[in-house]
Structure 1
Amino acid sequence: MTRRGRFRGRAVDPSVDAFLGIRYAEPPFGARRFAEPDPVDPAGPPVDCLGFGPLAPQAALLPGTPLWRPGHEDVLTLNIWAPPPAPEPRPVLLFLHGGAYTFGSSAQPDFDGAALARAGLVVVTCNYRVGFEGFGHVPGRPDNRGLLDQRAALRWVRAGIEVFGGDPDNITVAGHSAGATSALFLAAAEPVRRVIAHSPPNRVHTPGFARGVAEWVDTTTPESTVLSAARLAKAQRTGPLSHDPVLFGPVADRLPTVPPHVDLLLAHTDVEYRLFEELGSFRVARTAAELLRFGRDWGIPDHVVTAYREFPDAHTLLAGDFLFVEPTNRAFETHPRAHLARFTRPPAWHNADLPFCFGNLRGADFLIGGAPGPDEHALARRVLASWVAFCTTGDPGWTGVHHWGPVVEPRRAPWRGVPLDPTFGHLPIPPT
């Protein structure tokens, strides 16, 4: 048992203490359901912080992580990994998990912050409301409740992180996938020093789309909400949502712009959508006509689709470049303090870079394409060091673009002059 102020955690090893399951806001159920988060004060009586908090309501079954259990309502919690006290406060990393705004949690082994803490950061991860609870439209209630949860978590960190040795004036917000886009929204709404965004999807939903989804979701209980939303997702067999049925996400006009004075570290993998193809969640086009239909469903011009037909993995590459790669490259080119990393080490698919960022290769065989060896551990040390350097100084160790793996030029020529509208407003197909 170890203590920081009123918080009792556990020693991971002599160089890192972990404090898990700290409540940053009241449980968002009962009278608080679908409302803005009700923050708690970091000051108060002593509290044990020895295990991760419950997951937010979700249907996903993620290997190696706890399941959502109905009735477990204290879902707005955060976790802290802290190195020993130092003469000067340490940089803080607040990491937001991904999961298509529909699933995931800070309890995933991928996001264990011990290795980053050993390298000198105070690491914070948090749960937030996902799926309909976090992003569904409810008349008279705020949209984007999951983003509001993240703002409440950041404010808790800013108010309470000093007792863990962290510097409240040197906070980096980071995330991957949906968490990366969340980090961009967070940096646009709250003062932060730096942002790390790995593979942020270039997609927001219109109010009309959110209302269309809500029409088919039974919100009587959290259980009925999760089940009916999953049923609606399975019903998307034709049209734009049939290729990748993501029903929830930020309701906004556009993606936010990170303020120009904020340091920005962007990253993408080379073949983002290959992960979804491997998992069977992405319906791949097998013919030229199917590929053209996909492009038109997603608003990709025909000439871009035609240019991709020369690639063996045309559909997979086209989807990943449209949603992740090209928007990330454009964001890098337009921000005055941005750095960009391209992760090209095979399999170079979505999330393949995360185990290297956190230094957590154990149990990551699937994501990284096999059992890690000396080369993989060496790469993890370099990637992790770049995160630590960026969080500390704003310099990840390079200027401009850096490749983790072989140098692979992105497929950018067909996209020249093509607008990348992130708004998604197609109505879902009702379940039968």
Structure 2
Amino acid sequence: MTRRGRFRGRSVDRAVEAFLGIRYAEPPFGPRRFAEPVPVDVPASGPPVDCLGFGPIAPQAALLPGTPLWRPGQEDVLTLNVWAPPTSPSPRPVLFFLHGGAYTFGSSAQPDFDGAALARAGLVVVTCNYRVGFEGFGHVPGRPDNRGLLDQRAALRWVRDHIGAFGGDPDDITVAGHSAGATSALFLAAAEPVRRVIAHSPPHRVYGQGFARGVARWVDTTTPESTVLSAARLAAAQRTGPLSHDPVLFGPVADRLPTVPPHVDLLLAHTDVEYRLFAELGGFRVARTDAGLTRFGRDWGIPDHVVDAYRGLPDAHTLLAGDFLFVEPVNRLFETHPRARLARFTRPPAWHNADLPFCFGNLGGADFLIGGPAGPDEHALSRRVLASWVSFCATGDPGWRGVHHWGPPTEPRRAPWRGVALDPVFPHPPVPPT
């Protein structure tokens, strides 16, 4: 057992202390349901708060390996976790990480996001839960949109106010995220003062008000359980049209993606074949014919000449989808931001999320994501990738300028995209459930 200020955690080992399940906002249910998060007060006196286990996860239908299942009645879902080295004379850089999950599932309790290895390397690491799915991003008349993003802002403000008790520097915070968490990090950097941003595979997609209202029409919000179940039924009903290929119903309600301030250091990353993971897991319906590839391109608004450039390539459909939603937008953001660095993760399988175990130093149990058991080469690569994150959080320099490859150097498939406008707003209404 160990204490930091008003919090009682546990020692992971001699080099790291963990404080899990710290409440940063009141439970967002009852009269607070669909409202802005209400920050909690940290008492100045009284017994220390036990922070020994992860808090409940936000309402969702997903069952992820090593992660607790959400159960109706669990309401104290707005919590965060801190991994910190023992106290030192000077404050340490802070990494504030946001999990992904298509804005619909995921939690900070996933083993992938254990912050101990990064803390051993000298960072104070914070992860948090936030509302996902309809609870976090569904449209409710008279209530704020993007409640999941508001939760993240509340968690970051808690960190800024209290991270000093854990040895962290409140003026040296790097906001990081992967996938939906990466785009969330971009929104957070546009709304709150941060020093640096790490964004791995941010999806280039937001949803307009009309789309959000169309989704809300078919969701039963009577209880959190009915909300999760009816949203899942709506996603399953998307068998035709643009959403049939990858039925993601929730995300930031906005008319554009945010602009990261030019003074903020920005570390971007993408994998080589992002959508291969979704095809492997069955969440992405892969086109097996030229006609199917054409239909997909037109459903997603990809010009015919771009689609034609992918015909005949192995995994043409997954390459096209990943380049459209992740790879090309990340490369354009890199080209336009004055303080950006870019990493391309090309080590096979080089699919979405294959890089995260290397970043966190959590290769044990990640056999599927990284393509097999980790050996000496994988552990050596993880040490290098993790060190680049630590260096970036401390100095703004990950160890290179411009573009760096984690794996064999490759050239992205960019030529067909020249001059093609990439509108992030998804305008197509959902297909009603039958």
Q: TM-score, normalised by structure 2?
A: 0.99
- The residue identity in structure 2 corresponding to 1:7 is F
Query: Paired residues, what number?
Result: 432
Deviation at 1:310, TM superposition (A): 2.7
Distance 2:113 2:69 in 1: 16
- Give 2:79's aligned amino acid: T
Query: Tell me, which stretches of 5 or more residues in structure 1 are unaligned?
Result: none
d(CA) in 1 for partners of 2:22, 2:273? 37
Partner in structure 2 of residue 13 of structure 1: 13
Matching residue of 1:180: 182
Structure 1 distance, partners of 2:426, 2:201, is: 18
Please list the CA deviations of residues 329-380 of structure 1 after superposition, one character each: whole Å capped at 9, or x if unmatched: 0000000000000000000000000000000000000000000000000000
Aligned to 1:399: 401
Give the Cα–Cα distance (whole angstroms) in 2 for the partners of residues 362 and 199 of structure 1: 22
Q: 1:424 aligns with which of 420, 423, 426?
A: 426
What secondary structure sits across from 1:366 in the alignment? helix
> Which residue number corresponds to residue 116 of structure 2?
114
Q: Which residue of 1 aligns with 2:318?
A: 316
SS in 1 for 2:135: helix
Distance apart, 1:87 and its partner CA: 1.2
State how far apart, in whole Å, the 2-side matches of 1:9 and 1:205 are: 40
2:35 and 2:348 map into 1 onto residues whose CA distance is 43
Which residue of structure 1 aligns with residue 259 of structure 2?
257
Query: Contact 1:205 / 1:250 at 8 angstroms: preserved in 2?
Result: yes
CA distance in 2, matches of 1:142, 1:133: 11
Structure 1 runs of 4+ aligned residues shifted over 3 Å read: 42-45
- Equivalent position of 2:37 in the other structure: 37
- Unaligned 5+ runs, structure 2: none
Matched, 1:85 2:59: no
Partner of 1:387: 389
Counterpart AA for 1:399: R
Mapped partners of 1:120, 1:212: distance in 2: 47
* Contact 1:42–1:159 under 8 Å retained in 2: no
- Give distance in 2, aligned partners of 1:43 and 1:346: 49
Amino acid at match of 2:38: D
Q: Aligned AA for 1:41?
A: D
> TM-score, length-normalised on structure 1?
1.00
RMSD over aligned Cα atoms: 0.5
For 1:166, the equivalent position in structure 2 comes to 168
Q: Distance in 1 between matches of 2:426 and 2:158?
A: 32
Q: Is the 1:270–1:344 Cα contact (8 Å) retained in structure 2?
A: yes
Is 1:54–1:73's contact at 8 Å kept on the other side of the alignment?
yes
Does residue 337 of the first structure (1) align with residue 336 of the second (2)? no
In the other structure, the counterpart of 2:202 is 200
SS of residue matched to 2:387: helix
Alignment match, 1:25: 25
Once residues 92 and 19 of structure 2 are traced to their aligned partners in structure 1, the CA distance between those partners, rounded to angstroms, is 17
Tell me which of 154, 157, 162 is aligned to 2:156.
154
Q: Secondary structure at the match of 1:125?
A: strand
Match of 1:102 among 95, 104, 113: 104
- Find the aligned partners of 1:63 and 1:383 in 2 and give their Cα distance: 24
Q: Deviations over 1:169-211 (max 9, x none)?
A: 0000000000000000000000000000000000000100000
d(CA) in 2 for partners of 1:72 and 1:204? Answer: 29
1:421 partner amino acid: D
Does structure 2 retain, via aligned residues, the 8 Å contact 1:94–1:171?
yes
Residues 245-275 of structure 1 deviation map (CA, whole Å, 9 limit, x = unaligned) = 0000000011101100000000000000000
Q: 2:394 is aligned with what amino acid?
A: T
Q: Is the 8 A contact 1:92 1:122 kept in 2?
A: yes
Which stretch of the first structure deviates more once superposed, 64-73 or 119-128? Answer: 64-73
Q: Which amino acid aligns with 1:268?
A: H
Q: What are the equivalent positions in structure 2 for 1:260-299 lying under 5 Å apart?
A: 260-299=262-301
Residue 215 of structure 2 aligns with which residue?
213
Contact residue 42 and residue 156 of structure 1 kept, 8 A: no
Alpha-carbon separation, structure 1, partners of 2:349 and 2:43: 46
Equivalent position SS for 1:209 = helix
**CA distance, structure 2, for counterparts of residue 418 and residue 310 of structure 1:** 21
1:297-342 deviations in Å (ceiling 9; x for gaps): 1010000000010312110000000000000000000000000000
Q: Distance in 1 between matches of 2:382 and 2:169?
A: 26
- Distance (whole Å) between structure 2 residues aligned to residue 410 and residue 313 of structure 1: 15
Tell me the CA shift for residue 85 of structure 1: 0.9
The letter of the residue matching 2:347 is R
* Secondary structure of 1:330's aligned partner: helix
- Give SS of 1:195's match: strand
User: In structure 1, what is the Cα distance between the partners aligned to 2:288 and 2:42?
Assistant: 54
Q: Which residue type is aligned with residue 67 of structure 1?
A: L
Structure 1 distance, partners of 2:112, 2:60, is 19
> What amino acid maps onto 2:201 in structure 1?
S
Identity of aligned residues (%): 88
Which of 131, 134, 139 is the matching residue for 1:132?
Answer: 134
Give the conservation status (yes or no) of the 8 Å contact 1:106–1:127: yes
- 1:40, distance to aligned residue in structure 2 (A): 1.2
